[in-house]
Amino acid sequence: MEYFLQQLINGLSLGAIYGLIAIGYTMVYGIIGMINFAHGEIYMIGAFVALITFLAIGSLGITWVPLALLVMLVASMLFTAVYGWTVERIAYRPLRSSPRLAPLISAIGMSIFLQNYVQILQGARSKPLQPILPGNLTLMDGAVSVSYVRLATIIITIALMYGFTQLITRTSLGRAQRACEQDKKMASLLGVNVDRVISLTFVMGAALAAVAGMMVLLIYGVIDFYIGFLAGVKAFTAAVLGGIGSLPGAMLGGVVIGLIEAFWSGYMGSEWKDVATFTILVLVLIFRPTGLLGRPEIEKV
C-alpha cells in the first residue's frame, strides 16, 4: 500500500510534466493541424535556461530559495517563449498553405537544429545539479515520503492549469484562439488577427513546456541536450491519448501516461517502460482513435 502510494505520487508528478508539454502539442495541433515536432526541443531548452538562470543567480549571491525558484520560473518561461515564437516565425509560418508534409519536415529539421545548437553551445555531457529543494514530507509514519520538489511540481501545475483555463475560457485572447481553432478564415473576417493568435499559441505552449523543463531539472537534477526527443514523443502520446485538440484531455493523458510509467517501473522494472507507453498509444489509437476526451472527426471528400 505504501509502495503503491509512493508510485502514485511519482506518477502524478511525472504526469504533470508530460501534461504541461502535451498542452503545447494539442494547442498547436488544434489550431494549425500540424505536429510541432520541435516542441520536445523547446522543453529541453526550457530546462537549460532554468539551469543557466540558477547558476547565474547563484553567482550573483542570491541564496533565498523561493526567490531563486521564482526567478528561474520567470526567466525560463520568458526566454523559452521567445524560442517558441521564433521557431514558428521562421519554420512554420511561411509554410502555412503548403502540403501537409512540408511543415512536418521543417519541424523535424528544426528539432535536429535545436538539439545540435544546444549541444554545440552547452556541451554534450549531461549536466548534474545539486538538489535545490532538498527534504521530504513524510506521511503515514514515514512509510511514504514525498519530496518537496514533487509536491511543488504538482501544486504549480495545478495552479498553472487553473490560470491557463481562465485564460482560454474568459479572456478575449482565449476566445480568439478558440475561434481560430474552429474556422480561421471566418475568424479573420471578424477581425481576429490570426497570425498573432497562432504566434501566441506557440508562445504559450513554449512557456508551459519551459515550466516542465524546469520541473524535470528540479526533480531529477540532471539534464542533457537529448532529453527533448523522448519526452516530446511521450507528451505527444499523452496529447493523442487525451484526444488531440482538447486541453483537459492533454492534462489527463499526461497524468495517465505518467501513472502508467511510474507503476510499470515500480512493479515491472524500468527497462520496458517506454515499450509500455508506446503500446498504450497504439492500443488507444486502434480502439478509440479520438482519444479519451476528443471529439470524433468527420471525414469529407
Partner 1 sequence: MTAISMSSPRAIAWPAILKEAAMTAFVALLLTIPLVGLRTVDRPTGLGLETRWNEVAAAVGLVFLGRLGLCLIREGHAVTVLVLAAAATAAGFFIAMPTEALRVILIAGGAVIAIRAILAIRTGRSKLSQAERDKRMDHIAAQVQHASRWLGPIAVVVALAFPFTPLADRQLLDIGILLLTYVMLGWGLNIVVGLAGLLDLGYVAFYAVGAYSYALLAHYFGFSFWVCLPLAGFLAAMSGVLLGFPVLRLRGDYFAIVTLGFGEIIRIILINWYQFTGGPNGISGIPRPSFFGLADFTRTPAEGTAAFHEMFGLEFSPLHRIIFLYYLILALALVVNLFTMRVRKLPLGRAWEALREDDIACASLGINRTNMKLAAFAIAAMFGGFAGSFFATRQGFISPESFTFIESAIILAIVVLGGMGSQIGVVVAAFLVIGLPEAFRELADYRMLAFGMGMVLIMLWRPRGLLAHRDPTILLHGRPKGGSGGPAAGTAAAGGQGIAGGSAK
List of residues 6+ apart from 228 with CB closer than 8 A: 40, 41, 42, 43, 44, 45, 111, 114, 115
Nearest to partner 1 of 1, 121 (CB atom): 121
Minimum CB distance to partner 1 smaller for 1 or for 125: 125
Of residues 9 and 260, the one with the C-beta less far from partner 1: 260
Alpha-carbon span 142 to 24, nearest angstrom: 37
The alpha carbon of 127 is separated from its chain's Cα centroid by a whole number of angstroms, namely 20
Which residue's CB is nearer to partner 1, number 46 or number 174? Answer: 46
* Shortest spacing between CB 13 and partner 1, in angstroms: 23
- Tell which residue, 292, 286, 236, 234, has the closest CA to residue 34: 236
Taking the complex as a whole, how short is the minimal distance between the CB of residue 129 and partner 1, in angstroms?
7
Of 74 and 143, CB closest to partner 1: 74
Contact 237, 280 (CB under 8 A): yes
Q: What minimum distance in Å lies between the beta carbon of 170 and partner 1? A: 29
Least CB distance to partner 1 at residue 292 (A): 15
Give the residue from 74, 16, 301 showing the smallest Cα distance to 82: 74
CB of 227 to partner 1, least distance (A): 14
As a whole number of angstroms, the distance between CA 200 and CA 87 comes to 12
Cβ partners under 8 Å of residue 286, min gap 6:
none
Find the shortest distance in angstroms from Cβ 173 to partner 1: 21
Buried b (16+ CB within 10 A) or exposed e, 73-88: bebbbebbbebbeebb
Distance of CA 1 to the CA centre of its chain: 30
Q: Which is nearer to partner 1, 70 or 275 (CB)?
A: 275
